Amino acid sequence: MTPETIFYSVAFPLLGVFLGLVYKGIDRRISARLTSRIGPPIRQPFWDVGKLLLKETIVPKNAIAWLFNAMPILAFASSLTLLLYIPFGVLKAPLEGYGDLVVILYLLTLQSLAMAIGGFASGSPFSSVGAQREMVLMMSYEMPLATVIVGFALIYRSFSLTTIASTPVWSIVSPLAAFGVLLLFVALLTVTPAELAKLPFDIAEAETEIAEGMLAEYSGRNLALFYLSDAVRGFAMAAIEVVLFFPFTLSSILGLSLTGFALYAVEALWFLLKVLIIYLLAVTLVRTSFGRFKIDQASRIFWVHVNLVALLGLALIWVGV
Amino acid sequence: MGKLDNFKRSLWVFHASGGSCNACDIEIVAALTPRYDVERFGIKLVGSPRHADVLLVTGAIPRDFADKLRRVYEQMPEPKAVVVVGNCGTSGGVFYDSYNIAGPIDEIIPVDVYVPGCPPRPEAIIDAVVKAWLKVEKLEKKLEGKEE
Ligand code: SF4
């Protein structure tokens, strides 16, 4: 651990929280525009968090208090840790070399798991139903998600995100395998709303049927932590997709030869733009256009359709590489 | 923690429907539509009283529902405000002498803002929620004062 690493490990999470909230704001604004509303200002999520921090934090009488209070912290911490594994444009990931795609898979799972455990611990029937749904959903989408990661391991013979980001996947595979990669991309895009608990897969947090499900009993500071981890996770998930599928740097596309600060600034903005596009495609557009699925429908979609697409993609890569 | 502005800009509303005829509820939903769009003021309907700053109650409250309403009110974290929407809730409305009504809502839980009308217009509901802001802010100041 050099001082540089430590600086990054502090700066990245702060930046990640900020960006996560900004992206959430943009998401809400664009979603409103899509339904011909004006929508909240982009700073709205910051005010929401500020307000939640001012509210009373209630621990229900029949909740398991320590578990109930620990889970929002776990979710928030794991989402911040997630950020440390993502190479940011041309910057290296701060924890480069300490973990890879498999760790990312586990950190993503850990967050959903923390929410589910928090739901069970809050002792409310609504939360329990929500937590059970979340577990079922997790079991459904983990398989396609793992398939995508195995596909990348097959191509690169490495799980490291920095290795993957350094050479765009499309440039090293045969046309057949490229088609496989495309299928993996489709599978990952479908998994994204489920992973982030957004419509049409926000079955575990359905506010109309089960009173916000797992979050039903959370208030004040605990809810703010979940809110933040949700925002960070949205940003991180889109960033992972960019790193996996669109790692092209702007200077390589336009043939620029930038150096020093200009390079970092331009590439960072370019990276953020790519993340924004993926975010809008995978989350905003989808959540505005669809209604909520039932849990059995969602389960079938992932186990049958998305899984088929992902496995076919994997097979093509296996044959093609 | 002097960030009272946050309440001015982000207010989450929980809607509890008692024995309402559903017209008041529809008017509340109307406030979310493109024509009125309360989300641009940061007002959002939430699904759990634990997340709410303001409780909207509609309808005359049947005897059976009175203690449930009390519990919903108690589950909301401080600071909180209550808005009653519609004549039924404010006075009993057309059901004022019904044998099955637990009385106007302010006999069950403390009410801060009344919105008369049968049903009231969405503008009136938005106005009431904005008035509830002031109350929430005042409460928050009081809470802060206690801590000092
Ligand atoms: S006030 Fe009128 S519109 Fe509202 S619930 Fe009562 S009867 Fe229905």
Q: Which residue ranges form the domains of chain B, and what is each CATH number? A: 2-147 (3.40.50.12280)
* Residue type at position A43: R
Residue B1: predicted pLDDT: 39
- Residues B20-31 have a mean pLDDT of 85
Q: Which of A40, A50, A211 sits opposite B48 (nearest CB)?
A: A211
Categorize the per-residue pLDDT at B96 as very low, low, confident or very high, splitting at 50, 70 and 90. confident
SS3 content of chain B, % helix, strand, coil (to 5): 45, 20, 35
Distance of CA A289 to the CA centre of its chain: 20
Mean pLDDT of B42-70: 85
A34 touches chain B (CB under 8 A): no
Measured CA to CA in angstroms, residue A149 lies from A58, A162, B141 at distances of 40, 14, 52
Instruction: Give the other-Cβ count within 10 Å of A265's Cβ.
Output: 12
**pLDDT confidence band for B145 (50 / 70 / 90):** low
pLDDT at A106: 84
Residue type, B35: R
Whether the CB-CB separation of A154 and A287 falls below 8 Å is answered with no
Report the nearest-CA residue for atom 6 of ligand 1. B88
Of A234, A232, A240, whose CA–CA distance to A162 is shortest? A240
Alpha-carbon distance A239 to A243, whole Å? Answer: 6
Q: What is the spatial distance between Cα A152 and Cα A170, in angstroms, rounded to a whole number? A: 11
Q: Closest Cα to residue A41, out of A52, A55, A27, A54?
A: A27
Mean pLDDT of chain B: 81
Strand order in the sheet with B43-45: B43-45, B11-17, B54-58, B81-85, B113-115
Q: What is the mean pLDDT of residues B63-69?
A: 86
How is chain A split into domains, by residue range?
3-320
- Phi/psi zone of residue A86: left (φ > 0), alpha (ψ -120 to 50 degrees), beta? beta
Q: Within 13 Å and on the Cβ side, how many CA atoms surround A284?
A: 22
Instruction: Give percent helix, percent strand, percent coil of chain A, each to the nearest 5.
Output: 75, 0, 25
Closest CA relative to residue B60, chosen from B25, B96, B99:
B96
Task: Using alpha carbons, list the distances in angstroms from residue A132 to A119, A123, A135.
Answer: 9, 13, 5
Residue B2 confidence (pLDDT) above 60? no
| Cβ neighbours of A275 (radius 10 Å) | 26
Q: B53 vs A55: CB contact, 8 Å cut-off?
A: yes
Query: In this complex, do A40 and B39 lie within 8 Å of one another by their Cβ atoms?
Result: yes
Could you read off the pLDDT tens digit of each residue along chain A, which spans 321 residues? 677 777 777 777 888 888 888 988 898 888 888 888 888 888 888 888 888 888 778 778 887 778 888 888 888 888 888 888 877 766 666 666 677 778 888 888 888 888 888 888 887 888 888 888 888 888 888 888 888 888 888 887 777 777 777 777 777 777 777 888 888 888 888 888 888 877 777 776 766 667 777 787 888 888 888 888 888 888 888 888 888 887 777 766 666 666 667 777 777 788 888 888 888 888 888 888 887 888 888 888 888 888 888 888 888 888 777
Whether residue B3 is predicted with pLDDT greater than 60 in this model: the reply is no
Write down the pLDDT at residue A97.
66
pLDDT given at position B18: 80
**Which residues line ligand 1 at a C-beta cut-off of 6 Å?**
B 20-21, 23-24, 58-59, 86-88, 93-94, 118-119
- B141 and chain A in contact, CB less than 8 A: no
**Can you say how many angstroms the Cα of residue A243 is from the centroid of all Cα atoms in its chain?**
13
Nearest to B39 among A37, A216, A219 (CB): A37
Q: What is the mean pLDDT of residues B89-116?
A: 82
CB–CB contact B10 A41 (8 Å):
no
For residue A48, what are the contacts with CB-CB under 8 A and spacing of at least 6?
A227, B6, B10, B42
- Asked whether the beta carbons of A31 and A287 are under 8 A apart, the reply is yes
Q: What would the mean pLDDT of B69-91 be, rounded to a whole number?
A: 85
Report chain B residues whose CB lies below 8 A from the CB of A215: 48, 51
Nearest to A92 by CA among A163, A14, A23, A19: A163
What was the pLDDT predicted at A207? 67
In DSSP terms, B14 is beta-bridged to B55
* Cα angle for residues A219, A286, A313 (degrees, 5° grid): 115
Distance from CA of B77 to the nearest CA of A (A): 5
- So what's the pLDDT on residue A90? 67
Pairwise CB contact (< 8 Å): A47 & B53: no
Quick one: pLDDT at residue B4?
53
A246 near A282, Cβ under 8 Å?
no
Q: Is the Cβ–Cβ distance between B69 and B109 less than 8 Å?
A: yes
Q: Which pLDDT does position B148 carry in this prediction? A: 45
Reference A283, options A233, A221, A211, A210; nearest CA is A233
Residues B23/B113/A126/A224 CA torsion (nearest 10 deg): 130
